[in-house]
Structures are given as C-alpha cells and as structure tokens.
Chains A and B, each alone.
Chain A
Amino acid sequence: MLKPVSRRSFIKASAATAAAVSLTSFDMHSWMASASADEKAAISKIPTTCNGCSSQCGMIAYTKNGRLWKLEGHPDHPRSKGTLCARGHGYATLIYSKERLEQPMKRMENGKYEPISWEQAFKEIGDKLKEIIKEHGPESVALVQDPRPTGNVYATRFIKALGSPNYYTHHVACNNSRDTGFNHTIGGVPSADIANSSYIMFIGRSYGDGIRPSSMSALAQAKENGAKVIIVDPRKNNTSPFADQWLPIRPGTDLALVLAMAHILIEKDLYDAGFIEDHATGFEEFKKEVKQYTPEWAEKVTGIDAQTIKTIATDMAQLKPKAVIEQSWRGAFGCNYKNSTETGRAVALFNAMLGNIQQEGGYIFGASAGLGDLDPDQFPAPQEPDAVKDGEEDFPLAPRGRGVANIVPLRAKEGKMKAAFYHHSNAALGYGNPEYYKEALNEMDLVVTIDVQMSETALLSHYVLPEPSYMERDDAVDGVGGGTAAVVLRQKAVDRVHPNTKPADEIFTELAKASGVGEYFTFTLEDYNKAAVEPLGITMDELREKGSIPLEDKKAEIGTVPEFNTPSGKVEFASQTFEDAGFNAVPTWIPPLVEPKNGSYRLTTGKQAIHSHTQTANIPMLMQITKDYDLERLWMNRQEAKKKGIQDSDLVEVSSDSASSTVKVKLTDRLHPETVYIPSHYGITSKYLTTAKGVGFSYMEHVPFHFQPMSGCSMIHEVIVDVRKVDA
C-alpha cells in the first residue's frame, strides 16, 4: 500500500544481482582504501585549457576515476608556459560547486524560476523566436557573448541562420576603444615584444594585476636584461616592483602625454623618418596638429612635468626601435574615457614614429594559426543577412565583427529589439549601468541566458540554459596567434557532474532546429574540429594527446614591415575614414567628459590578480583571499582622506548621480588625489551566489548608461563621485 502505483525509479533492476559486489566492496572505507591504492595506475593526464580569464592558458588536468585530482600549467602553451595564476588553480573548484545551474529554468508569472525539461525549453524558445521574427523581422533579435571557442563557431552561425546581423561581444566594456584607434591607424593590434625591449612604457595596463603568466615573465626577463620600465597610471599598480618610474598621471589625460611625446619627436627630429617615408600617409597633417601639443601644455593637463616628458620621449627615441608603448588592454584607454579612441590612435602612431613595427623589441603582428572550416558543400553555411548590424550606422568606426553590445538594451527600450541571447556573458552587471539593463531587458519579449551560474543577467532572463563547466566538456578547436602560432583544444577532463547540463554546441544546434533553421546545423562538434585542424596537417588524436601544439611553420616574420590593414595599406597618420565619420582626420586632444571638482573624485577601476571580472567572485578559494586582506575596499589618497576625516578601514559612502554604495576604505599614497579606485570584481547581487553576494560594490552601478562617440564603449571612468564617512 505504501508503494506508489507508478514508480519513476531511477535505477532499473532488470538483470541486477547484489551478489556481483563483495561485502568488502560494499564497505565504503575498505573500498576507498583499495581504490586509492591502485591510484597511480588510474591517474590520467588530460591537457586542456583554463577558463579563468580570456587568456585561456593551457593546463594539464590530472584526474582519477573521472574526478579532478591536480592541475598544472601546460608547458607548451604560449600563455601559461607551465604556470597557472591563482585564478587558474582556484576557478577549477567551480566544477564541484553546489552553486551552479543544474537544469533549464523558466521564469514563471510570479517571477520565480521553475525547472523545465530541455524539450520544453527548446520548443518554447523556438516558437517564441519564430513568432517574434515573423512579426518584427530578424533584426529584432540579438546575440551577445564573451567569446569562447565553441561560441565563436556556433553562436555566430546561429544568429546568422536566423537572418539577423546582430551579433555582439563584451568588448564594449573591454578594449573596443583601443582597437578602434589601432585599427584605423596601423590596421590591427600587434603585441609588444616585451622580453626583447629596452624601454617599455605601460599606460594603464598592469601585468601585475591583469595577469597573464607569460607576459609577467617576459617583463621580468626584460628587467633582467636591463630594460627601463615606465608606468603611467593614476595608481601605483602592482607592476611597480618592476618599474623604474611611476608617472602618476591625472586620470583621462594619457592622450595629452602621448601627443606631447610625439611633439618632441617631431620638434627634435627624432622619429624614424625612413619608416614614415616608406610606410605612412598623412604625416604632414599630423605634424601640423601636434605642433600645439607642447610638453608645457601637457604638464598643465596631465600633471606630469614637462622635463620628464621630454626626457622620456628623447630616451625612447634613442633606443628605438627597441622602445615601445605597450599596446594595453582594457587599462586606461580600452573603454574608459571619451578620448580613449584618440589615445589608441596616438599610442599606435607614436610607436610607428619609433619605427618599431615588426622589429625585435617593438610591436609585432603575430602569425595566425590558419584553422580550416567546414566544407560548405557538405554543410551549407547560412547567408550573410542583408540588414546592417544595429549600431553600425551610429558607430561606423567600431570594430565591425564585435559590434556595440550596449545597443541591445538601448533598442530594447525603444521597443525595437525584442529578443536577446546572452551566452557566457554577464552583460547586465558588466557592460553598462545595471539599473538601465534591468529596465531594458524587462522590456523584451524573450531573453535567454546560457551560462554555468545564476548571474545577474540570468536573473533578468525568461529562460536560463545550463552549460557544463569548462572542465566537463569539449570545446571547438582554437587557434592562438603570436610570435609562433599554436593550435589548442579545451577538452573534457572530468565526468559531468550535473547530468542535465548541455554544452553550447548542443544547445545552439537544438535551438536552431526548434527555430526552423536546423539545416545549418547538421554537423557535429567533432566534424568541425576535424575540419579545423585539417589544413595544419595535425590529427585530432594528436591534438587530444598534446592539448596545445605550437605551429613551427607559422611564425611572425620579424624585420619585414607588413602591408597595413588600412584603406591605404599604410600607417594612417590622417584617416579619411575618421573624417567621413565626422571626426578629425588626425588625432586631436579631447578632454575627458567629466571633471571632478573640489572635494569630488573620479571613480576609476581595474583588475586584481585573483579575479576575472565578476566571474570568479563566487569561488570560495579566491573570495577568501579578498576577505583575508579586505581587497574589496575603495582606495583613497591618504591626504585627501585626512581632509575629510576619513581613517583607514572606515566605512564610507560613495555616491554619484546614478547610485550610492557603502564600502570600507583603504588609505594609500599609491593613488592620485583626484581619483578613488575600486576593484572591478565585486558587487554581486544575485542571491544564488552566496559566497560573492554582498561583498563590495560594482563600479558599473555608478557609470551612467552612455556611449563613447567613436567606438560605442561604455566610458567606465567618466563618472564623478562624492565620498563621505558613514557613522558607525
């Protein structure tokens, strides 16, 4: 009677017999003991890649009985070279965390999330999508991601198959401004050859905070060889032990510094005239413009004395071409200020004036891996959509492939964007003002998030689809460009913990089928991977075994200046494209959008070595470091604090036009008095992420929802705050 009539039993007893297992093995303790005894034999070594940050270093996972046992850096991977950073070690604990998404979920009428089956999820999403496309056209659908190898193949194909041009990446809150500047001057973003350089200037970028192990060791090596290192940053950042000089620049004025340095090179005739002659256009116009940017002028703007500027520019010219302004990443001009794109142009052009392009110790355009693609006859690719990507008309200079992701919420509010997919992206906390994002996403008819944890963006979605973690799945083959290109594979290292998760390749394939465009997804991930390695003369078996293979025949050619990927094929000191877009042909001083007045501060932000955006905040091992050393505190200049009666570790209120936050303060002499600095990893509000929730605050809450005019970036440093002590 107790036995329910129709049991939905988990285990099927058809041919089972308990006698098959000895009593000893039934005893967990003795079984564990014997299973651990022959462990040496059972340990397997699986090369794969980290997902702790965008560097995606190669690593080796040791596993035992399908579970993770140990991690090491992959010795052959160009970015890890055998070591992993704190995140690389710590992020792996995500696999076994309880706070992961386990099954597809749907937001119900009452706002609560209910688990649903995959069939139901695909069907409902597909139906809704078809309905939206029918009514509003495919241009009302967008897809946004922080790209990872599988997403690069599948997500882009999916949105294209739907007939929509609206594919976007996270770069609006990362390095789109810099890239816009670099693309239109030197046709792309090279990497500084740090290890061989004699004079290195970093603007905003800090190898000691935004870690990539190979970069940090290259810098250590350069120092060993006697290189001079300058850091330009309102904050004496964690690279400073390796720097000879710190220039505490007034935030947002890096452009003035670089323009003045260019001025010196011209005035003293120190630039590489031969290079300019052969490989550049528009130099005369540039010369005219730069004439006004004297070091004395720059001193007033930047707060760095004219003599220092002169000395540095002259020293760099003397050591050229082994002198370089490092290309930076998000740093000071990735997406930070109104003038960041111009800073990008100025930096690229200053390096060109040093003639360091494709020279040892200068800027090197790396070789690319040259992966193959699916055979279009066998697996027809969707057509390029006719419509232009939304935002491209507003921001014609921004990198086309990546688009301007913050167009999506803007158009949602205008009622034009009806559906959005967010894959491996926490846009609602990371790309722009969270309040704005919330309002905008609530306007849409369909928001779908694909992720591993219940992020703030997931909490604004109608459907949440769970992926297995990066250690539990195979990804698409990836090429890593560089001095020597490499081909790498992220592969499944451990057994899947949550059986009801699906990797992105399966999710997009099923979504495509449910949306009526399944004909473009008749291939498997393995088909793609085979096609990708084919032209390299490498088999998937080899790649699986090695994980990361350097391509010795794909090396950057040093010494030969390449054709530049610009309209003229040359370095463009003056750009017709800029002029056509309504801007100045040559880089021009533009002041920052907002200025702190007496007693208020510019809120600036940056990375810490132990976290990646907000993605790692819920990892107990990494968050514990934050807690042990109060790393979530707001930095404030000691003298400024004194004026306001604020003491170290006091609780302060930080308020801007957009928000107000309370946080503990760290007093320091390592910070420019006009700014307060907050690490960018905190302020998680999702109640599903209990380790991270409530620690620190998110700078994004203070950043108004706005667009940098040239690149569409979020201008994350254009915000002024007041700071006052909170009485306990």
Chain B
Amino acid sequence: MSMAVSAAWGMAKDRACALSLRLVRSPDRSYGEVMVVSNGTGQRSRALRSSVLLHAVMAVSGLIMVLFLLAHMYGNLKIFEGRQAFDGYSEYLREVGEPLLPRTGVLWIIRVVLLISVLVHIYAAFTLWHRSRAATAGAGGWRYETTKNRRGVQRSYASFTMRWGGVVVGLFVIYHLLHLSADYVAPGGASSSPYQRMVNGFSIWWVVLSYVIALIALGFHLRHGVWSAFASLGGNSSVARRRGLNQLATVVALLILVGFLIPPLVIFAGWVR
C-alpha cells in the first residue's frame, strides 16, 4: 500500500501565497534565503540540547533542592527542642549510615548531589537566559517602543524576577554556607556548636534582616519555580491542573518561607537563647 504524506493543515499553503505577495512588496527577498527544514536523522541529539530539555533539567535539579530545603527546615525547627537536641541532630547527620558508610558519608552524598543540582540548575538557567535574550534582541518583555503595559497582561512578580531572584538566592547560599555551615563568617562569635552559631548570629539585627530578605527572594523563586518545574516536565495537563499546580507552588513557597523564618525571628525576639 502506498503511503502519502498529507499536509494536515492549510496554513502552510496559505502562507506560501502570503509569502509570495510579500516578495512582490520587497523584491530583494528571494526564496533562496528560506531556511532549510530538517526532518529525520539527528533529531534525538538535537533534542538533547533543546530548550525543552534544559527546562526539564532545571525542573529536576530544582525539585531536588526543594526536597533538601524541606528536610533542612525540619532540622532548623529542632531549635525549639533545645541545644542538645539541635546539636544532637547535627551529630546524627554525621553519624547516620555508620558503619556501612564512613562517618559523614551520608552528609557527603547529600552535599555532592546538591552541588551537582546547583551547578546544573545554574548552567541551564544561564543557557536559557542567553537564548531568551537572543530571541528578544536583548530586551525581553521591554522590546516595544511604547511604555504602556510594560508588565504585560497577567504575569506575576514572581515570574519575571526568576533570573535575578535566582542570582540573589545563589549569593545568599554562599554567604549562608560561610556563616552557619563553615563558621567562617561569624557575626556574634564563632562556635563549634551549630545551636550556638545560630543564636550568636541571629541576635544581630542585620544578620536577621539579610536572612529575611534572602528568604523572601527564595519564596518568590519557589512560588513560580515549583509550578514551572511541574509544567516543564509535562505535568500541566488541563486548565484545572494549571490552577492546582499554582496552588501547590504557593503552599510550598509559604511553607518554606515561614518555616525558615521562624528560627531567626524567635532567636532575635529572645524566646530561644
């Protein structure tokens, strides 16, 4: 049986007419310039560099970091159980898995997974940022001469601050690791006790303020990021699902924002010392 390829849609044909009309208008454009469409071979390897795949990579690495944040937030809230419980949890994270794994083995596995996630996330973000600048002559949503409706029709604050907001969160993570993890930046005094490091740091107003600002930036990043991650992975399957995923993202962002804000604020208020 012979197989024929049938054009499924009339537009290609209509547009061909439109194109020839335009050629009459501007005779310097010839068919010779028309880009070649390639089908068939090499599509898989090209798709591995596609924006769709880069977004999927961002989604997966981002969701891994969200899972880490939820666990980290749980650990921080142990501050309410007192110094021993908090420092004991820190010690537990180092011992867990022994003797199957060496001491701090699990911790290092988590650190390596997170490091890979962060690097991959940043690589994809900058590659896509570059592509989107190229696709808008470097001006993004501000490429029109008019100054009216520059914020578009419906886009949210969270959605158009993803890139710079991500940079802010990234810088915060470096500062934060130097502070509470490495004990290298130690406002209020260094200590071998993680509990004491937090109390020392969060007794100072500007330390608390820096965390509050960074966490709000993180909250916005997650508000759009969590929804976008599921949509990039193919999870947005209907108008109702779009609403549901956005609600989920709001819940996750608020949970993480509030959960992380509680320890610095209660320490600053003097309720935990």
Do A and B associate with each other?
no
